[in-house]
């Protein structure tokens, strides 16, 4: 088969990709606080995005036969919360945690350069703001990214409370309304099953009536925070939204 005969097939594949996914290009990358890295992706106008939602980025080419033959397809997608979406510019900002283990997502973030094409799924997820008398946020570094978008969208007349845990002060993201939040540092301790975060949430002074809580991060930790709010403070379970992003040794929790 000639090159000319093969070209239409590639065109069909490209059109199918465009129907299923979104294509953009890296506009800028820069270091963020601590181990975070900012990646701005342009050329993506008209995204239907709600603060708190995430996108699944193709960190490898899932249309490539090599990806499937090598078994790398299971590592070809990585999920990232959206820090901000500028609808007027058609640009999306991600904030990616640089894991020391250096998996496929970390390598993609480290290697991202302006002009590079990025393919990702449309924004998804139900972890977002709910109408409430007040809002409570609790989580660690991985939760800080969706929290940033949600805090930016929270009405100014609705009080905000919460605890954000990081390893060290230099890991803190520039969250909106950060002065209304409590910050705590765990040092060299693991974020998995973090007693530091749970203890800090226990210390929060909250109104007598429940608001809405958004708890995200490591799975065991978010369950412990929810248990405190429900069992110790008497909150209805429906008033505590949890989003387990990760836990040691388990994939695909997004």
Binning pLDDT at 50, 70 and 90, where does residue 103 land? confident
Q: What is the pLDDT of residues 81-100, one digit of tens each?
A: 999 999 999 999 999 998 76
Looking at the structure, do residues 103 and 143 belong to the same domain, yes or no? no
The rounded mean pLDDT for the chain is 89
Domain-terminating residue out of 94, 124, 154 = 124
Domain assignment of residue 2, yes or no: no
Give the pLDDT score at 104. Answer: 85
Domain-terminating residue out of 92, 124, 156 = 124
Looking at the structure, do residues 178 and 213 belong to the same domain, yes or no? yes
Looking at the structure, do residues 147 and 86 belong to the same domain, yes or no? no
Q: What are phi and psi of 217, to 5 degrees?
A: 130, -140
Domain assignment of residue 205, yes or no: yes
Indicate the number of domains in the chain.
Answer: 2
Give the pLDDT score at 16. Answer: 59
Positive or negative, the CA dihedral 228, 233, 234, 239 is negative
Domain-terminating residue out of 67, 96, 124 = 124
Q: What are phi and psi of 125, to 5 degrees?
A: 110, 150
Residues 67, 39, 172, CA angle at the centre, nearest 5°?
120
Whether residue 41 is predicted with pLDDT greater than 50 in this model: the reply is yes
**Least confident stretch, 16-20, 70-74, 104-108, 190-194:** 70-74
Tokens 């960190």, residue located: 59
Looking at the structure, do residues 52 and 141 belong to the same domain, yes or no? no
Looking at the structure, do residues 117 and 175 belong to the same domain, yes or no? no
Give the pLDDT score at 194. Answer: 86
Q: What is the pLDDT of residues 131-168, one digit of tens each?
A: 999 999 999 999 999 999 999 999 999 999 999 999 99
Taking each helix axis from N to C end, the angle separating 195-202 and 219-227, rounded to the nearest 10 degrees, works out to: 20
**pTM recorded for the entire structure:** 0.88
Full residue range of the structural domain in which residue 148 is found: 135-246
Give the pLDDT score at 20. Answer: 80
Domain assignment of residue 191, yes or no: yes
């Amino acid at each position: 088969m000639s090159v000319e005969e093969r070209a239409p097939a590639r065109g069909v594949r490209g059109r199918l990709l465009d129907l299923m996914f979104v294509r953009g290009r890296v506009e800028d990358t820069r270091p963020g606080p601590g181990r975070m890295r900012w990646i701005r992706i342009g050329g993506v106008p008209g995204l239907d995005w709600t603060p708190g939602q995430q996108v699944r980025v193709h960190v490898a080419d899932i249309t490539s036969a090599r990806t499937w033959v090598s078994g790398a397809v299971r590592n070809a997608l990585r999920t990232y919360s959206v820090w901000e979406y500028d609808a007027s510019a058609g640009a999306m900002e991600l904030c990616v945690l640089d894991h020391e283990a250096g998996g496929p997502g970390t390598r993609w973030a480290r290697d991202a350069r302006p002009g590079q094409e990025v393919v990702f799924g449309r924004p998804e997820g139900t972890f977002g703001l709910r109408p409430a008398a007040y809002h409570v946020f609790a989580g660690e570094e991985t939760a800080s990214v969706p929290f940033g978008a949600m805090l930016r969208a929270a009405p100014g007349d609705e009080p905000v409370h919460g605890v954000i845990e990081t390893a060290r002060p230099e890991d803190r993201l520039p969250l909106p309304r950060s002065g209304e939040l409590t910050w705590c540092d765990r040092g060299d301790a693991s974020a998995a099953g973090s007693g530091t975060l749970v203890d800090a949430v226990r210390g929060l002074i909250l109104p007598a009536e429940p608001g809405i809580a958004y708890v995200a991060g490591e799975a065991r930790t978010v369950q412990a925070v929810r248990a405190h709010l429900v069992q110790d403070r008497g909150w209805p379970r429906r008033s505590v939204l949890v989003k387990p992003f990760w836990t040691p040794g388990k994939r695909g929790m997004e």
